[in-house]
A and B are shown apart, each in its own frame.
Chain A
Amino acid sequence: EAQVTQNPRYLITVTGKKLTVTCSQNMNHEYMSWYRQDPGLGLRQIYYSMNVEVTDKGDVPEGYKVSRKEKRNFPLILESPSPNQTSLYFCASSLSSPGLVNSPLHFGNGTRLTVT
Chain B
Amino acid sequence: SQQGEEDPQALSIQEGENATMNCSYKTSINNLQWYRQNSGRGLVHLILIRSNEREKHSGRLRVTLDTSKKSSSLLITASRAADTASYFCATDASSWGKLQFGAGTQVVVTP
Interface residues of A (CB under 8 A from B): 4, 31, 33, 35, 40-45, 48, 50, 56, 58-59, 88, 90, 92, 97-101, 104-110, 112
B25 within 8 A of A: no
When distances are taken between beta carbons in the complex, the residues of chain A under 8 Å from B45 are 104-106
| Minimum CB–CB distance for A46 against chain B, Å | 11
Fill in one digit per residue for B27-41: 1 if any A CB lies within 8 Å of its CB, else 0.
000110101000011
Interface residues of B (CB under 8 A from A): 2, 30-31, 33, 35, 40-45, 48, 50, 88, 90-92, 96-104
Q: How many residue-residue contacts, CB under 8 A, span A and B?
A: 72
| Minimum CB–CB distance for A102 against chain B, Å | 9
B42 x A40 contact (CB < 8 A): no
When distances are taken between beta carbons in the complex, the residues of chain A under 8 Å from B92 are 97-99
A43 x B40 contact (CB < 8 A): no
- What are 14 A-to-B residue pairs whose CB atoms are below 8 Å? A33-B99, A42-B2, A42-B101, A45-B99, A48-B98, A59-B98, A97-B96, A98-B90, A98-B99, A99-B31, A99-B97, A104-B33, A110-B42, A112-B40
A50 x B33 contact (CB < 8 A): no
| Minimum CB–CB distance for B31 against chain A, Å | 6
**Distance, CA A31 to CA B99, complexed state (A):** 12
B42 x A42 contact (CB < 8 A): no
A43 x B97 contact (CB < 8 A): no
When distances are taken between beta carbons in the complex, the residues of chain B under 8 Å from A42 are 2, 88, 101-104
When distances are taken between beta carbons in the complex, the residues of chain A under 8 Å from B40 are 88, 110, 112
| Minimum CB–CB distance for A73 against chain B, Å | 17
A41 x B42 contact (CB < 8 A): no
| Minimum CB–CB distance for A111 against chain B, Å | 11
A110 x B41 contact (CB < 8 A): yes
Nearest 7 A/B pairs, CB to CB: A99-B92, A107-B42, A104-B45, A42-B103, A43-B101, A98-B99, A107-B43
